[in-house]
Amino acid sequence: FVGNSTYLDDHGPPPQKVLPFPSQVVYNRVGKCGSRTVVLLLRILSEKHGFNLVTSDIHNKTRLTKNEQMELIKNISTAEQPYLFTRHVHFLNFSRFGGDQPVYINIIRDPVNRFLSNYFFRRFGDWRGEQNHMIRTPSMRQEERYLDINVCILENYPECSNPRLFYIIPYFCGQHPRCREPGEWALERAKLNVNENFLLVGILEELEDVLLLLERFLPHYFKDVLSIYKNPEHRKLGNLTVTVKKTVPSPEAIQVLYQRMRYEYEFYYYVKEQFHLLKRKFGLKSHIRKPRPRPEFFIPSPLETEEPIDDEEEDDEKWLEDIYKR
């Protein structure tokens, strides 16, 4: 005690780094939902704003044993703050293992579009390298690589049926084994986590609005993100991550997918509704469209949510810029 008071008398309190709040952010990115575009932006932003971007080379292990969860949480929690950790991993409950719960963010997209993007990406990669897909899936047999998407869906191949199609919800439900079973339990738990642990879950179809809100909520991490995203140099980079050789399944095949993915759609519509409420709260317009009927009753145009690289219509650009200047 005495020694300590002498130190303080002589030197004053040791200098402390003033951290922004929140100083712990996790982006447990959902596969094929624009996350490569966002990570490109984060690399630029981390240098610009001086936060610690912690990425992972593990892309195909989303479900962890209890020991793996503890190990990963320990590693993340000891990272230098402020940090933003990103990895394809199902929701981790830090408080379950005695850690401080970080703030979560994420982005999802129309489930059929996500599935199609992944289906063709696994086979043919993207424009970053024609041989990319061979490196990514070297053991895939030629007949599987060139398997017609309609055959895969209508003949119920494992890749095009449950549980493989139950993909987005587990990222929000978590590591519990039941989170991988398509059903109400996982759906409700995912919704609860969105409400309690996620600062923002955006939708890829409205990426510019997602970026605007991230900038508003997390300025230490995302200040100027929209101007970087709209920069022509960044657009060029983004174009490299567009999946190639996509084809559109038949209406019949799409209807089958919708039936199989009904829980995914219920979750997607829930998140979309919450996102639109948030946008309204902060004065962002949404396009006025007639509300679509539920998936059982309509055929979508499945490729309408291409990775959002191309410019929007001019009117959209105008109001987004006006908001950005405020």
> Which conformational region is residue 323 in: left (phi greater than 0), alpha (psi within -120 to 50 degrees), or beta?
alpha
Q: How far apart are CA 317 and CA 43, in angstroms?
A: 24
Partners of 52 in the β-ladder? 83
Please identify which of the residues 11, 49, 59, 88 carries the catalytic annotation. 88
* Phi, psi dihedrals of residue 78, rounded to the nearest 5°: -95, 0
Q: Write the CB contacts of 154 (distance below 8 Å, at least 6 apart in sequence).
A: 252, 253, 256
The residue type of 143 is E
Q: How far apart are CA 205 and CA 164, in angstroms?
A: 23
How is residue 229 written in tokens? 């995203």
DSSP codes, 93-136 = -GGGGTPPPPEEEEEE--HHHHHHHHHHHHHH-BTT-TTHHHHH
Q: Is 88 in the active site?
A: yes
Burial string for 48-75 (b: 16+ CB within 10 Å, else e) reads: ebebebbeeeeeeebebeeeebbebbee
Q: How far apart are CA 226 and CA 222, in angstroms?
A: 9
Return the closest-CA partner of residue 162 out of 84, 54, 305, 258: 258
Looking at residue 212, the DSSP 8-state letter turns out to be H
User: What is the number of residues in the chain?
Assistant: 326
Q: Write the CB contacts of 70 (distance below 8 Å, at least 6 apart in sequence).
A: 97
Q: Write the CB contacts of 237 (distance below 8 Å, at least 6 apart in sequence).
A: 40
Partners of 84 in the β-ladder? 25, 53
Residues tagged active-site: 88
